[in-house]
Amino acid sequence: MPSFSEKLEAAIRIKKTPALVGLDPRYDMLPDGLKHSGCSCCSENHHHGNYLNPETIATAFGQFCYRVIDIVAPLVPAVKPQIAFFEQYGSMGLFALENVIHYAQQKGLLVILDGKRNDIGSTAAAYADGLIGAKSSIWGGDALTVSPYLGDDSLEPFAQTAKDRDAGIFVLVKTSNKGGSMLQDLIANGKPIYQHVAEYVESLNVSDASANGYGNIGAVVGATWAEQLTELRAVMPHTWFLVPGYGSQGGSAKDVAGAFDANGLGAIVNNSRGIIFAYKTGEFAGKYDCWEDAVLAATKAMIIRLAEDTPAGKL
Protein backbone atom coordinates (compact mmCIF):
# COMPACT_ATOMS: atom_id res chain seq x y z
CA MET A 1 0.00 0.00 0.00
CA PRO A 2 1.27 3.52 -0.73
CA SER A 3 2.13 5.68 2.25
CA PHE A 4 0.13 8.79 3.10
CA SER A 5 2.96 10.90 1.69
CA GLU A 6 2.75 9.03 -1.60
CA LYS A 7 -1.05 9.25 -1.70
CA LEU A 8 -0.91 12.98 -1.04
CA GLU A 9 1.68 13.54 -3.75
CA ALA A 10 -0.33 11.50 -6.25
CA ALA A 11 -3.54 13.38 -5.47
CA ILE A 12 -1.80 16.75 -5.84
CA ARG A 13 -0.21 15.73 -9.14
CA ILE A 14 -3.50 14.40 -10.53
CA LYS A 15 -5.36 17.63 -9.71
CA LYS A 16 -2.28 19.77 -10.46
CA THR A 17 -2.91 21.91 -7.39
CA PRO A 18 -2.15 21.93 -3.65
CA ALA A 19 -5.48 23.63 -2.84
CA LEU A 20 -7.27 22.16 0.19
CA VAL A 21 -10.92 22.97 0.96
CA GLY A 22 -11.86 23.26 4.63
CA LEU A 23 -15.34 22.08 5.61
CA ASP A 24 -16.34 24.38 8.48
CA PRO A 25 -20.16 24.49 8.35
CA ARG A 26 -21.94 27.16 10.40
CA TYR A 27 -25.70 27.16 10.49
CA ASP A 28 -26.08 30.94 10.38
CA MET A 29 -23.91 31.07 7.26
CA LEU A 30 -25.70 28.36 5.29
CA PRO A 31 -27.69 29.31 2.20
CA ASP A 32 -31.35 29.85 3.07
CA GLY A 33 -32.43 26.96 0.90
CA LEU A 34 -30.56 24.54 3.16
CA LYS A 35 -31.92 25.85 6.44
CA HIS A 36 -34.88 23.95 7.81
CA SER A 37 -37.55 26.17 9.30
CA GLY A 38 -38.69 23.93 12.15
CA CYS A 39 -37.48 24.89 15.59
CA SER A 40 -38.03 22.81 18.68
CA CYS A 41 -38.38 23.85 22.27
CA CYS A 42 -35.58 23.20 24.65
CA SER A 43 -34.85 19.63 25.53
CA GLU A 44 -34.44 18.66 29.15
CA ASN A 45 -30.73 19.32 28.73
CA HIS A 46 -31.33 22.99 27.91
CA HIS A 47 -32.53 25.39 30.54
CA HIS A 48 -33.13 28.65 28.68
CA GLY A 49 -34.18 29.96 25.29
CA ASN A 50 -35.22 28.07 22.17
CA TYR A 51 -32.83 25.95 20.16
CA LEU A 52 -32.92 24.46 16.72
CA ASN A 53 -33.19 20.72 16.81
CA PRO A 54 -29.62 19.33 16.50
CA GLU A 55 -30.91 16.80 13.97
CA THR A 56 -32.14 19.68 11.80
CA ILE A 57 -28.74 21.36 11.91
CA ALA A 58 -26.83 18.13 11.32
CA THR A 59 -28.98 17.29 8.31
CA ALA A 60 -28.36 20.75 6.85
CA PHE A 61 -24.61 20.42 7.48
CA GLY A 62 -24.55 17.10 5.65
CA GLN A 63 -26.45 18.41 2.65
CA PHE A 64 -24.25 21.49 2.47
CA CYS A 65 -20.98 19.57 2.71
CA TYR A 66 -22.10 16.97 0.16
CA ARG A 67 -22.82 19.73 -2.33
CA VAL A 68 -19.48 21.45 -1.66
CA ILE A 69 -17.71 18.11 -2.12
CA ASP A 70 -19.54 17.50 -5.41
CA ILE A 71 -18.25 20.85 -6.68
CA VAL A 72 -14.63 20.67 -5.51
CA ALA A 73 -13.89 16.94 -5.91
CA PRO A 74 -12.90 17.25 -9.59
CA LEU A 75 -10.61 20.19 -8.76
CA VAL A 76 -8.71 19.59 -5.51
CA PRO A 77 -6.88 16.68 -3.86
CA ALA A 78 -8.34 16.83 -0.36
CA VAL A 79 -10.83 18.33 2.07
CA LYS A 80 -10.42 19.17 5.75
CA PRO A 81 -13.52 18.80 7.94
CA GLN A 82 -13.23 20.76 11.19
CA ILE A 83 -14.52 18.34 13.82
CA ALA A 84 -15.65 21.05 16.25
CA PHE A 85 -18.37 22.42 13.99
CA PHE A 86 -20.00 18.99 13.90
CA GLU A 87 -19.17 17.96 17.46
CA GLN A 88 -20.98 20.92 18.98
CA TYR A 89 -24.30 19.35 17.96
CA GLY A 90 -23.72 16.08 19.77
CA SER A 91 -24.39 12.66 18.36
CA MET A 92 -26.36 13.99 15.37
CA GLY A 93 -23.51 16.28 14.41
CA LEU A 94 -21.02 13.45 14.68
CA PHE A 95 -23.25 11.22 12.56
CA ALA A 96 -23.22 13.95 9.91
CA LEU A 97 -19.43 14.17 10.14
CA GLU A 98 -19.06 10.42 9.66
CA ASN A 99 -21.19 10.56 6.54
CA VAL A 100 -19.29 13.57 5.18
CA ILE A 101 -15.95 11.76 5.64
CA HIS A 102 -17.18 8.70 3.78
CA TYR A 103 -18.83 10.76 1.05
CA ALA A 104 -15.63 12.71 0.39
CA GLN A 105 -13.56 9.54 0.17
CA GLN A 106 -16.10 7.97 -2.20
CA LYS A 107 -15.54 11.00 -4.42
CA GLY A 108 -11.82 10.25 -4.48
CA LEU A 109 -10.71 12.93 -2.01
CA LEU A 110 -8.24 12.54 0.84
CA VAL A 111 -9.76 13.59 4.16
CA ILE A 112 -7.67 15.47 6.73
CA LEU A 113 -9.54 15.59 10.04
CA ASP A 114 -8.94 18.86 11.86
CA GLY A 115 -9.28 17.94 15.51
CA LYS A 116 -5.97 19.10 17.05
CA ARG A 117 -6.03 16.10 19.37
CA ASN A 118 -3.48 14.93 21.89
CA ASP A 119 -2.86 13.44 25.33
CA ILE A 120 -0.37 11.02 26.82
CA GLY A 121 0.01 7.28 26.83
CA SER A 122 -3.06 5.14 26.30
CA THR A 123 -5.27 8.19 25.73
CA ALA A 124 -3.14 9.39 22.82
CA ALA A 125 -3.17 5.85 21.46
CA ALA A 126 -6.97 5.78 21.69
CA TYR A 127 -7.28 9.07 19.81
CA ALA A 128 -4.97 7.75 17.11
CA ASP A 129 -6.74 4.40 16.88
CA GLY A 130 -10.16 5.99 16.48
CA LEU A 131 -9.33 8.77 14.06
CA ILE A 132 -6.42 7.72 11.82
CA GLY A 133 -6.62 5.22 8.99
CA ALA A 134 -9.06 5.36 6.10
CA LYS A 135 -9.83 1.64 6.27
CA SER A 136 -8.61 0.74 9.75
CA SER A 137 -10.22 3.26 12.12
CA ILE A 138 -13.79 4.05 13.14
CA TRP A 139 -13.66 7.61 11.78
CA GLY A 140 -11.49 6.79 8.80
CA GLY A 141 -9.38 9.91 8.51
CA ASP A 142 -6.53 9.85 6.03
CA ALA A 143 -4.75 12.29 8.34
CA LEU A 144 -5.32 14.21 11.57
CA THR A 145 -4.07 17.49 13.03
CA VAL A 146 -2.26 16.99 16.35
CA SER A 147 -1.02 19.32 19.10
CA PRO A 148 2.60 18.80 20.22
CA TYR A 149 2.54 20.58 23.55
CA LEU A 150 2.43 17.49 25.74
CA GLY A 151 5.83 16.46 24.42
CA ASP A 152 7.44 13.81 22.26
CA ASP A 153 5.95 10.82 24.08
CA SER A 154 2.48 12.16 23.32
CA LEU A 155 3.23 12.28 19.58
CA GLU A 156 4.71 8.79 19.34
CA PRO A 157 1.36 6.91 19.35
CA PHE A 158 0.04 9.13 16.56
CA ALA A 159 3.22 8.78 14.51
CA GLN A 160 3.31 5.00 14.94
CA THR A 161 -0.37 4.56 14.09
CA ALA A 162 0.05 6.74 11.01
CA LYS A 163 3.00 4.61 9.89
CA ASP A 164 1.20 1.32 10.54
CA ARG A 165 -1.94 2.41 8.68
CA ASP A 166 -0.46 4.35 5.75
CA ALA A 167 -2.01 7.49 7.21
CA GLY A 168 -0.64 10.88 8.23
CA ILE A 169 -0.63 13.47 10.96
CA PHE A 170 -0.02 17.23 10.84
CA VAL A 171 1.64 18.60 13.98
CA LEU A 172 0.98 22.21 15.01
CA VAL A 173 4.29 24.01 14.54
CA LYS A 174 3.53 27.68 13.75
CA THR A 175 -0.20 28.31 13.75
CA SER A 176 -1.89 31.07 11.74
CA ASN A 177 -3.48 32.92 14.69
CA LYS A 178 -1.66 35.94 16.13
CA GLY A 179 -2.02 34.66 19.69
CA GLY A 180 -0.01 31.58 18.86
CA SER A 181 3.19 33.61 19.17
CA MET A 182 2.62 33.88 22.93
CA LEU A 183 4.04 30.38 23.33
CA GLN A 184 5.39 29.37 19.95
CA ASP A 185 7.79 32.33 19.63
CA LEU A 186 9.22 32.10 23.15
CA ILE A 187 12.98 31.59 23.11
CA ALA A 188 14.19 28.40 24.74
CA ASN A 189 17.81 27.23 24.55
CA GLY A 190 18.57 29.94 22.04
CA LYS A 191 15.72 29.47 19.56
CA PRO A 192 11.93 29.78 19.43
CA ILE A 193 9.81 26.91 20.64
CA TYR A 194 8.24 26.46 17.22
CA GLN A 195 11.69 25.69 15.83
CA HIS A 196 12.26 23.02 18.48
CA VAL A 197 8.95 21.43 17.47
CA ALA A 198 9.88 21.71 13.79
CA GLU A 199 13.21 19.97 14.32
CA TYR A 200 11.52 17.13 16.18
CA VAL A 201 8.91 16.67 13.45
CA GLU A 202 11.64 16.64 10.81
CA SER A 203 13.57 14.02 12.77
CA LEU A 204 10.56 11.69 12.57
CA ASN A 205 10.59 11.94 8.77
CA VAL A 206 14.29 11.71 7.93
CA SER A 207 14.58 7.93 8.21
CA ASP A 208 11.01 7.22 7.09
CA ALA A 209 10.64 9.40 4.01
CA SER A 210 8.98 8.00 0.91
CA ALA A 211 10.62 8.03 -2.51
CA ASN A 212 9.30 11.57 -2.97
CA GLY A 213 11.50 12.72 -0.08
CA TYR A 214 8.65 13.40 2.34
CA GLY A 215 7.49 11.49 5.40
CA ASN A 216 4.00 10.95 6.82
CA ILE A 217 4.41 13.39 9.72
CA GLY A 218 3.41 16.82 8.47
CA ALA A 219 3.54 20.28 10.03
CA VAL A 220 0.90 22.98 10.33
CA VAL A 221 2.48 26.33 9.43
CA GLY A 222 0.25 29.36 8.90
CA ALA A 223 0.05 31.46 5.75
CA THR A 224 0.08 34.54 7.97
CA TRP A 225 3.79 33.96 8.72
CA ALA A 226 5.41 34.16 5.28
CA GLU A 227 8.94 34.63 6.62
CA GLN A 228 8.64 31.64 8.95
CA LEU A 229 7.22 29.50 6.14
CA THR A 230 10.44 30.00 4.19
CA GLU A 231 12.55 29.50 7.32
CA LEU A 232 10.74 26.30 8.28
CA ARG A 233 10.90 24.84 4.78
CA ALA A 234 14.68 24.91 5.20
CA VAL A 235 14.43 23.35 8.67
CA MET A 236 11.98 20.64 7.52
CA PRO A 237 12.96 19.53 4.00
CA HIS A 238 11.31 16.10 4.46
CA THR A 239 8.03 17.39 5.92
CA TRP A 240 4.71 18.13 4.24
CA PHE A 241 3.19 21.46 5.31
CA LEU A 242 -0.50 22.04 5.89
CA VAL A 243 -0.88 25.80 5.48
CA PRO A 244 -3.96 27.43 7.04
CA GLY A 245 -4.68 31.15 7.01
CA TYR A 246 -5.11 31.63 3.26
CA GLY A 247 -8.03 33.85 2.25
CA SER A 248 -10.26 34.97 5.11
CA GLN A 249 -7.37 35.15 7.60
CA GLY A 250 -5.37 37.37 5.26
CA GLY A 251 -2.82 35.03 3.72
CA SER A 252 -2.26 35.30 -0.04
CA ALA A 253 -0.75 32.97 -2.63
CA LYS A 254 2.46 35.00 -2.58
CA ASP A 255 2.60 34.61 1.21
CA VAL A 256 2.59 30.80 0.97
CA ALA A 257 5.20 30.49 -1.81
CA GLY A 258 7.94 29.69 0.70
CA ALA A 259 6.13 26.54 1.83
CA PHE A 260 6.92 24.70 -1.41
CA ASP A 261 9.98 22.98 -2.73
CA ALA A 262 11.41 23.86 -6.13
CA ASN A 263 9.12 21.33 -7.85
CA GLY A 264 5.91 22.74 -6.39
CA LEU A 265 5.46 19.95 -3.85
CA GLY A 266 5.76 19.89 -0.06
CA ALA A 267 2.64 21.83 0.92
CA ILE A 268 -1.13 21.81 0.84
CA VAL A 269 -2.89 25.15 1.34
CA ASN A 270 -6.24 25.37 3.12
CA ASN A 271 -9.10 27.73 2.36
CA SER A 272 -12.32 27.26 4.34
CA ARG A 273 -14.67 30.25 4.62
CA GLY A 274 -13.25 31.87 1.51
CA ILE A 275 -14.60 28.97 -0.54
CA ILE A 276 -17.57 27.41 1.21
CA PHE A 277 -19.14 30.76 2.08
CA ALA A 278 -17.89 32.65 -0.97
CA TYR A 279 -21.47 33.55 -1.89
CA LYS A 280 -21.73 35.59 1.30
CA THR A 281 -18.29 37.05 2.05
CA GLY A 282 -15.27 38.20 0.08
CA GLU A 283 -14.77 39.06 -3.56
CA PHE A 284 -17.46 36.71 -4.90
CA ALA A 285 -20.25 37.80 -2.55
CA GLY A 286 -23.40 38.80 -4.36
CA LYS A 287 -22.05 37.99 -7.80
CA TYR A 288 -23.95 34.75 -8.36
CA ASP A 289 -27.59 33.77 -8.14
CA CYS A 290 -26.58 30.27 -7.03
CA TRP A 291 -24.30 29.76 -4.02
CA GLU A 292 -22.73 26.73 -5.65
CA ASP A 293 -21.45 28.93 -8.49
CA ALA A 294 -19.62 31.09 -5.97
CA VAL A 295 -17.97 28.00 -4.44
CA LEU A 296 -16.82 26.92 -7.89
CA ALA A 297 -15.51 30.37 -8.79
CA ALA A 298 -13.64 30.77 -5.50
CA THR A 299 -12.04 27.33 -5.82
CA LYS A 300 -10.90 27.97 -9.39
CA ALA A 301 -9.56 31.41 -8.43
CA MET A 302 -7.47 29.92 -5.61
CA ILE A 303 -6.07 27.25 -7.91
CA ILE A 304 -5.07 29.87 -10.50
CA ARG A 305 -3.44 32.14 -7.91
CA LEU A 306 -1.43 29.32 -6.38
CA ALA A 307 -0.25 28.34 -9.86
CA GLU A 308 0.72 31.91 -10.73
CA ASP A 309 2.36 32.98 -7.47
CA THR A 310 3.97 29.81 -6.07
CA PRO A 311 6.12 26.94 -7.37
CA ALA A 312 2.88 24.90 -7.53
CA GLY A 313 2.57 26.24 -11.06
CA LYS A 314 5.15 23.59 -12.05
CA LEU A 315 2.81 20.71 -11.18
Q: What is the pLDDT of residues 191-225, one digit of tens each?
A: 999 999 999 999 999 988 999 999 999 999 998 88
Q: Is 213 among the domain residues? A: yes
Q: Mean of the pLDDT values across residues 248-273?
A: 93
Neighbours of 130 (CB within 10 A): 16
Residue 234: domain span: 4-38+54-314
Angle of helix 90-106 relative to helix 54-72, nearest 10 degrees, comes to 20
Q: Is 109 among the domain residues? A: yes
Q: Is 276 among the domain residues? A: yes
DSSP-derived letter for residue 178 is: G
The average confidence (pLDDT) of the chain is 92
**How many residues would you count in the chain?**
315
pLDDT band at 36 (very low <50, low <70, confident <90, very high): low
| Bridge partners, 271 (sequence order) | 21
How many separate domains does the chain show?
Answer: 1
Is the pLDDT at 240 greater than 70? The verdict is yes
Quick: pLDDT tens for 79-126: 999 999 999 999 999 999 999 999 999 999 999 999 999 999 999 999
110: exposed, middle or buried (Cβ count in 10 Å: 0-12, 13-18, 19+): buried
DSSP-derived letter for residue 286 is: T
Judge whether 168 and 216 are in contact, CB under 8 Å: yes
Choice between 2 and 36, residue whose per-residue pLDDT is larger: 2
Q: Is 47 among the domain residues? A: no
Helix ranges restricted to H, 211-263: 226-235, 253-256
- Return d(Cα 297, Cα 308) in angstroms, integer: 16
What ranges make up the beta strands (E) of the chain?
A: 19-23, 78-81, 110-117, 143-146, 168-174, 187-188, 191-192, 217-221, 241-243, 267-271
User: Would you please indicate which residues are annotated as catalytic (active-site) residues?
Assistant: 116
Is the pLDDT at 2 greater than 70? The verdict is yes
Judge whether 168 and 4 are in contact, CB under 8 Å: yes
Which among 80, 16, 81, 10 has a CA at the least distance from the CA of 306? 16
Is the pLDDT at 156 greater than 70? The verdict is yes
Q: How far is CA 112 from CA 6, 12, 116, 144, in A?
A: 15, 14, 11, 6
- Return d(Cα 87, Cα 84) in angstroms, integer: 5
Quick: pLDDT tens for 123-136: 999 999 999 999 99
Choice between 251 and 153, residue whose per-residue pLDDT is larger: 153
| Helix H or strand E encompassing 302 | helix 291-309
Q: Mean of the pLDDT values across residues 246-272?
A: 92
DSSP-derived letter for residue 123 is: H
Question: Under 8 Å CB-to-CB from 87, ≥6 apart: which residues?
Answer: 93, 94, 97
149: exposed, middle or buried (Cβ count in 10 Å: 0-12, 13-18, 19+): exposed
Q: Is 281 among the domain residues? A: yes
Choice between 178 and 312, residue whose per-residue pLDDT is larger: 312
Cα 56-62-65 angle, rounded to 5 deg = 135
Q: Is 48 among the domain residues? A: no
Backbone angles phi, psi at 209, to 5 degrees: -65, 145
Amino acid 42: pLDDT: 34
Amino acid 189: pLDDT: 96
Q: Is 161 among the domain residues? A: yes
Quick: pLDDT tens for 56-75: 999 999 999 999 999 999 99
Judge whether 112 and 139 are in contact, CB under 8 Å: no
The strand pair at 19-23 and 168-174 is best described as unpaired
Q: Using a pLDDT cut of 70, give the percent of the chain over it.
A: 95
Which among 229, 240, 302 has a CA at the least distance from the CA of 20? 302
CATH number at 164 reads: 3.20.20.70
Is the pLDDT at 161 greater than 50? The verdict is yes
pLDDT band at 265 (very low <50, low <70, confident <90, very high): very high
Q: How far is CA 15 from CA 154, 159, 217, in A?
A: 34, 27, 22
Q: How far is CA 82 from CA 108, 259, 272, in A?
A: 19, 22, 9
